[in-house]
Amino acid sequence: MNSKQYLTSLTIIHLGLLMGQVIFGVIAFFLNSQEDFSTEGDNSDLRNIFIYLVPFLILSGVSAGFFMMRSRLSMIQQKNSLAEKLQEYRTVLIMKYALMEGPALVALVAYLLTADLMFLGLAALVIVFFVLERPSKDKIIMDLALNSEGRSALQNPETKVL
C-alpha cells in the first residue's frame, strides 16, 4: 500500500463514521418533526437520566479517546519500522474515533426518545469535533514524530509504506 492509499483508507474510515452520525441525526430530527411520530407518555424520567448520562459519556468518551491516543502514540513512536508505526496508528485512530462516535450516537438516541433539542445540540457539538479530527499527512507526521526519511516517504504518494 502506498502513502496515498493509506491516507485514502483513513479518510474513508473517518468519512464513513462521520456520515453514520450525520445520517442518524438527520433521521432522528426528521422523525421528531413528524406529527405522526411521537414518543408516547411522560418522558421526564427518561430525560432526567439522559440529562446526566449524555454529558458524562461525551466528556468521558472524548477525553478517553485523547488520553488513549496520547499514551499509545508514545509507544508507537518507539517502533523502528514506518509500516509498523502506520499500522498501529490506524488502529489507535479507529479506537479514538469509536470513543467519540459512541457518545454522539447515545446523544442522538436521547434526542430521538425525548425530542429535547439539547441532546441534538450536544450530538452536533461532538460531530463538529469529529470533523476537526479528519486525518491528514501533516497530522500523521506530527503524531508519529516522523524523521525526515519517514516524512518524505509519507509525502511521496507513490512510496510504498505498508
What is the residue type of 29?
F
pLDDT of residue 45: 86
Cα dihedral 67/71/77/78 (nearest 10): 180
Helix%, strand%, coil% for the chain, nearest 5: 80, 0, 20
pLDDT tens per residue, the chain (162 residues)? 999 999 999 999 999 999 999 999 999 999 998 866 655 556 788 999 999 999 999 999 999 999 999 999 999 999 989 999 999 999 999 999 999 999 999 999 999 999 999 999 999 999 999 999 999 999 999 999 999 999 999 998 888 888
pLDDT of residue 36: 62
Say how far apart CA 59 and CA 115 lie, in whole Å: 22
Q: Name 99's Cβ contacts closer than 8 Å, sequence gap at least 6.
A: 61, 62, 64, 65, 68
pLDDT of residue 161: 86
Q: Is 120 helix (H, G, I), strand (E, B) or coil?
A: helix
What are the φ/ψ torsions at residue 154 (nearest 5 degrees)? -75, -35
